[in-house]
Amino acid sequence: MLASNAVPIRSLGSRPLEVIQPIPAIVQEEDEVFIASFVEGNINASGENQLDAVEMLKDMIASSFRLLVRKESVLGEEPRRQLGILRRFVRER
């Protein structure tokens, strides 16, 4: 059975990034695995429970943002779009 919960991410924890508006995440449980998704940013992560999945998603958001910023001068169309979306939600402290 597929269950779904909306989870707004308001902080990336101790990472050197600041959430400037809540990141809309969806967590779905399917076959005893939890998948957390930031749909608009096209970023997903999984975990053994909802909390693990959300924590992994936070890690993926932070690392994606840092990588895209570092490579900004050579990004293609889709990664550039993704970085633009992430910048609406996250900034460096």
Mind listing the pLDDT tens digit for each residue in 54-81?
999 999 999 999 999 999 999 999 999 9
The Cα–Cα gap between 45 and 25 comes to: 11
* Predicted local confidence at residue 1, as pLDDT: 46
What is the extent of the structural domain holding 63?
A: 3-92
The Cα–Cα gap between 32 and 11 comes to: 26
pTM equals 0.92
Mean pLDDT, to the nearest integer, of 15-25? 93
- Is the pLDDT at 30 greater than 90? The verdict is no
Q: Residue 86 in contact with residue 17, Cβ under 8 Å? A: no
DSSP at 16: S
Binning pLDDT at 50, 70 and 90, where does residue 36 land?
Answer: very high
**CA diameter of the chain:** 43
Task: Give the total number of structural domains in the chain.
Answer: 1
Give bridge partners of residue 84 from the DSSP assignment: none
The Cα–Cα gap between 15 and 27 comes to: 22
